[in-house]
Amino acid sequence: MEITKVKMPQNKYSIKCPYEMTPEGITIHNTANDASAMSEISYMIGNNNKTSFHIAIDNERIVQGIEFNRNAWHAGDGKGKGNMKTIGIEICYSKTGGERFNQAEKLTAEYVAYLLKQYGWGIDKVYKHQDWNNKNCPHRTLDLGWQRFINMVQEYLKGTTEINNNVKNDGSDIEMKTYQNGSTSENVYSDTACTAKIGSLNPRESCDCFGVFNNRAMVRYKVDGSNNYKIGFCKWTGGVR
């Protein structure tokens, strides 16, 4: 399993994860979106909404944005057990579904089993968002059958399907830093392979940097002429300081 950690800046704690937490379970969500795990975590960190979650999982990667010793606002129950005592996991690609979602759900089942074993918990510690506030979430997982998902987790727990315990912690755990662009414009891409341009930084423009991933700086920058922000990756990392 490949786990990428994107460290939540401490100046966002008051919005995203204000309370210390000792987890007592896991809550499963569906994103109702078709973005990758990295995109979901990047957007969650980058905005100022009081909505947050610990983990996003797509068909390839597990991405963590909040440490498990902090709460997150994901269960819709205020300061109830869902928000204050459980690890919030979002399964990606649930809007359209299909093979990408199926693979994301499978990877989630494997990771949930891994966490259950790490904490010494049983399957009864796995909850659905619906358990906390009756929201129809995880919507696609519920449509396909909640017990079916629980059975997938149990297959990993029982050893019927082997858990990949060779966990690879990828990415950067550094605090948010400043990214200072050079003397020319710098393209910003949606992926670390730099295949899809989403914008650019002006010469000498400064912005937030959440870490370096696959030798690319993940930056949050202001869109020209607006109060909106985007998050993406830059090829050059020399300006991170």
Residue-wise pLDDT for 62-93, tens only, equals 999 999 999 999 999 999 999 999 999 999 99
Q: Taking a C-beta distance cutoff of 8 angstroms, is the pair 129, 72 a contact? A: no
Rg (the chain; Cα; Å): 18
pLDDT at residue 52 tops 70: yes
**Burial code of 11-45, b = ≥16 C-beta within 10 A, e = fewer?**
ebeeebbeeebebebbbbbbbebbbbbbbbbbbbb
Q: Each residue of 100-156: pLDDT tens digit?
A: 999 999 999 999 999 999 999 999 999 999 999 999 999 999 999 999 999 999 999
Q: Which residue has the tokens 């928000």?
A: 83
Q: Each residue of 16-32: pLDDT tens digit?
A: 999 999 999 999 999 99
The confidence score (pLDDT) of residue 3 equals 86
- The string of DSSP letters for 85-99 reads HEEEEEESSTTT-SH
% the chain with pLDDT above 70:
93
Who wins on pLDDT, 69 or 171? 69
Q: Which amino acid is at 214?
A: N
pTM of the entire structure? 0.79
The structure tokens listed for 20 are 């210390």
**Strand ranges (E), the chain:** 2-6, 25-30, 55-57, 62-64, 86-91, 126-128, 168-172, 177-180, 186-189, 197-201, 206-213, 216-222, 229-234
Strand pairing partners for 107?
Answer: none
